[in-house]
């Protein structure tokens, strides 16, 4: 329950934000809003704002020939679209993206990371003509990916509210940056600047609480053998059979130079519990041909060299190039439930699918009463 003084501050924040929006609408009316014929589609609008150059560059990296990839350019930016779709983009500013570790931004732009980048970008786009008066409408808007966004009266954005069973609640992943001129208007929608990246994966996969590292057990065989015989990994094993059987073969192999004393590797294996925490339709969606690249990326993300030290916290680097943080009995957002070492590797059973950009992208934000009033002065 919200305390009385907190509720008053929250109301003051919401009123301040609505006043800013009202001023922006008045300013647009007095200055004469551009006709739709003078406006550009949403991605072009983003590209023309220097404060959004880093965000646009992520779109740009998905394509070639000087423009974003077809799944973005043709869908969101083609003025010839006959269905006259309207889109709203919540665009992190350059300052917002600089909050991320530079290695994350660099790795997202690598071709191998494209399935992940695609999901992140889609999370920032809703197919709706979201106007300033729609703030606080208590609606969940579907993104161009598989997420939903909720935007409260204060401009606080949360993804996938109530969708996944999680042990750690998430609130306010980003805030709309208040501007007297209002959102950027595009020929097919609006662009709102926000102060943080929206990480839809942490709210879709969920997060575990901290715990102690489990003791290590030893078995014969390979990682492939363990996946085949461990009943708690049956969902993962079946997914690999369905969409990436080659990966099962890969994790059943020994390193070529095993006899030279090369260190083993670890595989972070999501347990059945990790999949049971997901939305009901998640497994069906993961098997769909259109999402196979992202599913394969997600399931294969947990392979990395075995840590050289037991000192906590520590980082290892996934074979995808992203860093994985190991601390408090967790890897990123997932609790380590069991550790089994076999002939060619060690398997860590984990309670969630791993969010590759956690924790760098996700910093829950407390309410900031009066922040919009201060920004609008």
pLDDT in tens, the chain (377 residues): 334 443 343 344 444 444 434 444 444 433 334 445 689 999 999 999 999 999 999 999 998 777 898 889 999 998 777 678 899 999 999 999 999 999 999 999 999 999 999 999 999 999 999 988 898 887 899 999 889 999 999 999 999 988 888 888 888 999 999 877 889 999 999 999 999 999 999 999 999 999 999 999 999 999 999 999 999 999 999 999 999 999 999 888 875 444 444 558 999 999 999 999 999 889 999 999 989 999 999 999 999 988 777 777 888 999 999 999 999 999 999 999 999 999 889 999 999 999 999 876 544 444 444 333 333 33
Residue 32 placed within a domain? yes
Residues 196 and 315 in one domain: no
Residues 6+ away with beta carbon under 8 Å from 97: 54, 55, 105, 197
Give me the DSSP letters along 226-264.
HHHH-GGGHHHHHHHHHH-HHHHHHTTSPPTTGGGT---
Residues 223 and 91 in one domain: no
Amino acid 81: pLDDT: 76
Taking each helix axis from N to C end, the angle separating 114-123 and 292-300, rounded to the nearest 10 degrees, works out to: 110
Residues 6+ away with beta carbon under 8 Å from 73: 43, 63, 67
Rounded to whole angstroms, how far apart are CA atoms 48 and 54?
A: 12
Amino acid 36: pLDDT: 53
Amino acid 143: pLDDT: 94
Mapped onto helix, strand or coil, the DSSP state of residue 279 is: coil
Closest CA to 192 of 55, 28, 304, 65: 55
Residue 355 placed within a domain? no
Strands 314-317 and 323-327: antiparallel
Rounded to whole angstroms, how far apart are CA atoms 124 and 135?
A: 16
Amino acid 322: pLDDT: 95
* Domain count within the chain: 2
CA 97: distance to chain centroid?
A: 13
Amino acid 324: pLDDT: 94
Residue 358 placed within a domain? no
- Range of 288's domain? 216-350
Residues 31 and 162 in one domain: yes
Residue 170 placed within a domain? yes
Residues 193 and 89 in one domain: yes
Whether 275 and 282 have beta carbons less than 8 Å apart is answered as yes
Residue 343 placed within a domain? yes
Residues 231 and 345 in one domain: yes
Residues 239 and 317 in one domain: yes
Residues 340 and 372 in one domain: no
Strands 189-194 and 216-218: unpaired
Residues 173 and 309 in one domain: no
Mapped onto helix, strand or coil, the DSSP state of residue 124 is: coil
pTM: 0.83
Helices (H) and strands (E) in the chain, counts: 15, 16
Residues 6+ away with beta carbon under 8 Å from 327: 210, 312, 313, 314
Residues 290 and 310 in one domain: yes
Rounded to whole angstroms, how far apart are CA atoms 238 and 244?
A: 10
Residues 224 and 200 in one domain: no
Residue 142 to residues 56, 237, 262, Cα–Cα distance (Å): 21, 31, 47
- Token digits of residue 181: 């001129």
**Radius of gyration of the chain from its Cα atoms, rounded to whole angstroms:** 23
Residue 313 placed within a domain? yes
Whether 306 and 290 have beta carbons less than 8 Å apart is answered as no
C-alpha dihedral sign at 96, 100, 106, 107: negative
- Residue 115 sits in a domain whose CATH number is 2.30.180.10
Residue 302 placed within a domain? yes
Mapped onto helix, strand or coil, the DSSP state of residue 216 is: strand
Rounded to whole angstroms, how far apart are CA atoms 238 and 210?
A: 28
DSSP 8-state secondary structure symbol assigned to residue 92 = E
Whether 19 and 377 have beta carbons less than 8 Å apart is answered as no
Taking each helix axis from N to C end, the angle separating 292-300 and 234-243, rounded to the nearest 10 degrees, works out to: 130
Give me the DSSP letters along 156-193.
EEEESTTTS--SS-----EEBPP-TT-SEEETTEEEEE
Residues 201 and 264 in one domain: no
Residue 279 placed within a domain? yes
Residues 117 and 143 in one domain: yes
CA 67: distance to chain centroid?
A: 23
Amino acid 375: pLDDT: 38
The label of the residue with tokens 């990966």 reads 247
Rounded to whole angstroms, how far apart are CA atoms 40 and 67?
A: 15
């Amino acid at each position: 329950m919200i305390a009385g003084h907190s509720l008053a501050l929250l109301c003051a924040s919401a009123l301040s934000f609505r006043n800013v929006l009202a001023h922006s609408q008045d300013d647009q009316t007095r200055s004469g809003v551009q006709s739709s014929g003078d406006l550009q589609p949403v991605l072009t609008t983003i590209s023309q704002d220097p404060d959004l150059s880093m965000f646009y560059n992520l779109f740009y990296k998905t394509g070639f020939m000087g423009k974003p990839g077809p799944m973005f350019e043709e869908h969101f930016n083609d003025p010839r679209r006959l269905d006259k779709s309207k889109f709203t983009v919540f665009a992190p500013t350059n300052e917002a993206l600089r909050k991320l570790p530079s290695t994350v931004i660099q790795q997202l732009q690598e071709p191998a990371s494209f399935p992940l980048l695609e999901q992140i970008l889609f999370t920032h786009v809703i197919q709706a003509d979201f106007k300033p008066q729609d703030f606080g409408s208590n609606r969940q808007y579907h993104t161009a990916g598989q997420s939903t966004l909720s935007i409260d009266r204060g401009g606080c954005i949360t993804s996938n509210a109530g969708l996944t069973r999680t042990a750690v609640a998430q609130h306010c992943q980003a805030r709309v940056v208040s501007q007297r001129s209002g959102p950027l208007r595009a020929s097919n929608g609006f662009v709102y600047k926000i102060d943080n990246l929206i990480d839809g994966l942490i709210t879709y996969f969920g997060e575990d609480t901290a715990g102690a590292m489990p003791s290590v057990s030893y078995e014969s065989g390979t990682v492939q053998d363990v996946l085949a015989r461990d009943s708690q990994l049956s969902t993962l094993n079946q997914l690999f059979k369905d969409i990436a059987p080659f990966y099962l073969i890969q994790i059943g192999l020994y390193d070529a130079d095993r006899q030279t004393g090369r260190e083993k590797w670890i595989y972070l294996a999501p347990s059945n519990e990790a999949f049971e925490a997901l939305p009901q339709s998640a497994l069906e969606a993961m098997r769909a041909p259109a999402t196979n690249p992202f599913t394969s990326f997600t399931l294969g993300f947990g392979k990395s060299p075995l840590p050289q030290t037991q000192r906590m916290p520590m980082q290892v680097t996934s074979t995808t190039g992203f860093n994985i943080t190991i601390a408090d009995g967790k890897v990123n957002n997932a609790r380590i439930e069991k550790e089994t070492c076999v002939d060619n590797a060690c398997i860590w059973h984990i309670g969630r699918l791993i969010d590759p950009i956690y924790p760098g992208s996700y910093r829950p934000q407390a309410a900031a009463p009066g922040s919009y009033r201060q920004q609008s002065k």
